[in-house]
Structure 1
């Protein structure tokens, strides 16, 4: 027998050398991923050393959970093999990250149901069953779009949603799962009269004024956030000035003592979403962590600062 024939193996011999099953080798061969060196007189496949190297590479790629189409691209595109492999690995890492997040949410949800009093389990199962895991923020975004003034420009709406919609944590505590489930239930429940109550300032300001209002409020909330993190008592200052200026622009007015007194009265009569912000704070802050400011907690702080400022000016 010639040296060239000594390097050719049957499908069984190739499988044995690679530590694989004959079924596995036949599958990859049928998929066109393993090159045949020749056929025997009886029509049986024969493979050379390159097939063994190819098979080992395929099995290595499969341990990374790469799908066959991605493996084919790596094997067939020699010039771009590095880029193709990196793209495939990046894609798989993203998929695994999503799968891990989903599993962590399911684990926390199971703990939530297991650890609650038996009488509460049915209610919690109903809450959890209404949302996906990990949950989508789309219902919360729809809720706020209905709350915001009609015809508000998209960039302004997007900027508000970024601070108003809490993102689900990757590794949630059961209390965060419960809070998000309650947020989901709150924002998907139908309004009693079929429409969410709109703040009076929306009607006065209109879409154009609302852009100025929410842009100014975002700035004021950012200025107030460090004070909330340090647990500073509400007090007049730069954050309050930005807060009042936002409403003054919406009402087409000036920041005066009289305006601040009238603003405090108007805000006291406005609709509040306290429950939403309380739940959002839980979603953003794991147990034992430092509470993270939300637009709701910043607004509370600034309203208290406004009342304090008015009392000093009286």
Structure 2
């Protein structure tokens, strides 16, 4: 391989734009571009108005090219150069910001690829419908429609902390690297929560109209604990049965109503919960979104609720 000859530095330490370009192995146009944007200031101008660059210009140009090779935008490059330290906080911030951008871009590309595979692998009769479903999503999609759905569904005047805790459990985050089936499930969720409700109002459980802000806090804090206990049973494959999971579930309703947990209360609660509106498809598709391909189905608040409701119904029937 032929050795590249680097021209020696001039006697006065100053280089013309052409000499600097040759020394750095770039074009004159590149040096002029960075110079015109203030990233590579010249030391002086010759009598004829030509740019002359000082001894540090070559190192500064190498740093600029390294930062640009990593994809950093010009404003970030300028901040790193202004700090006059190659490994200072400005560089750390710039690298962290670039990594966030790349992560977002990678997530968007993963979603686009999975969506395209979904359309490609769909039966011909379903392809157009699925294309419309996934086409309504962003890449990567957001969760704002799901959050709005639940905020309208939850009891009025529910405290912000309790609302946030429920939303964390009820709103699935889109996977960073989804399978086509997960894209389809999330698209179906998105369409479900945005379709108009019959009569213009979303049906809600009876208890939402019977408890105030304090009652809703007690209810949803207790339900979150009960759902966690029931989720462990679901993962083990346990059949619905009385136990601490059911006791915690009933205690949440008893606390919200200000009642004692008695057999009569459990009997009335069984009948009330049996008539509450259901959104089974939401929880079905949520499970598909949060469960990786080939893995056992992850429990959701909906499947935990069904397990607990079945346990309550079996206990009530046995007592009767």
Which interval holds the TM-score relative to the shorter structure? over 0.9
> Does the residue aligned with 2:198 lie in a helix, a strand or coil?
coil
The unaligned stretches of length 5 or more in structure 1 are none
- Normalised TM-score (structure 2): 0.93
Is 2:135 aligned against 1:129? yes
Bigger shift: residues 60-69 or 274-283: 60-69
Bigger shift: residues 237-246 or 227-236: 227-236
Q: What CA distance in whole angstroms lies between the structure 2 residues aligned with 1:97 and 1:270?
A: 42
Is 2:100 aligned against 1:94? yes
| Corresponding residue of 1:110 | 116
| Corresponding residue of 1:212 | 218
Summarize deviations over 1:58-114 as a string: whole Å, max 9, x none: 000111111111111111123696111101111111111111101100000000011
Q: CA deviation at 1:142?
A: 0.3
| Corresponding residue of 2:16 | 10
Summarize deviations over 1:210-236 as a string: whole Å, max 9, x none: 221111100111111211112122221
Summarize deviations over 1:97-155 as a string: whole Å, max 9, x none: 11110110000000001111122221111111212111110100000011111111111
| Corresponding residue of 1:240 | 246
Is 2:267 aligned against 1:278? no
Q: What CA distance in whole angstroms lies between the structure 2 residues aligned with 1:17 and 1:8?
A: 12
**Count of equivalent residues:** 312
- 174, 180, 183: which one aligns with 1:174: 180
> Does the residue aligned with 2:212 lie in a helix, a strand or coil?
helix
Q: CA deviation at 1:252?
A: 2.0
Q: What CA distance in whole angstroms lies between the structure 2 residues aligned with 1:103 and 1:80?
A: 32
| Corresponding residue of 2:205 | 199
Q: What CA distance in whole angstroms lies between the structure 2 residues aligned with 1:114 and 1:12?
A: 53
| Corresponding residue of 1:311 | 317
- 275, 282, 287: which one aligns with 1:269: 275
Q: CA deviation at 1:246?
A: 0.5
Q: CA RMSD in A?
A: 1.6
- Normalised TM-score (structure 1): 0.95
- 189, 197, 200: which one aligns with 1:183: 189
Summarize deviations over 1:191-213 as a string: whole Å, max 9, x none: 12111012111112233322211
| Corresponding residue of 2:162 | 156
Summarize deviations over 1:15-49 as a string: whole Å, max 9, x none: 12212221111010111111323323321112233
Q: What CA distance in whole angstroms lies between the structure 1 residues aligned with 2:218 and 2:12?
A: 81
| Corresponding residue of 2:82 | 76
Q: What CA distance in whole angstroms lies between the structure 2 residues aligned with 1:216 and 1:61?
A: 52
Is 2:148 aligned against 1:142? yes
Q: CA deviation at 1:4?
A: 5.6
The unaligned stretches of length 5 or more in structure 2 are 1-8
> Does the residue aligned with 2:88 lie in a helix, a strand or coil?
helix
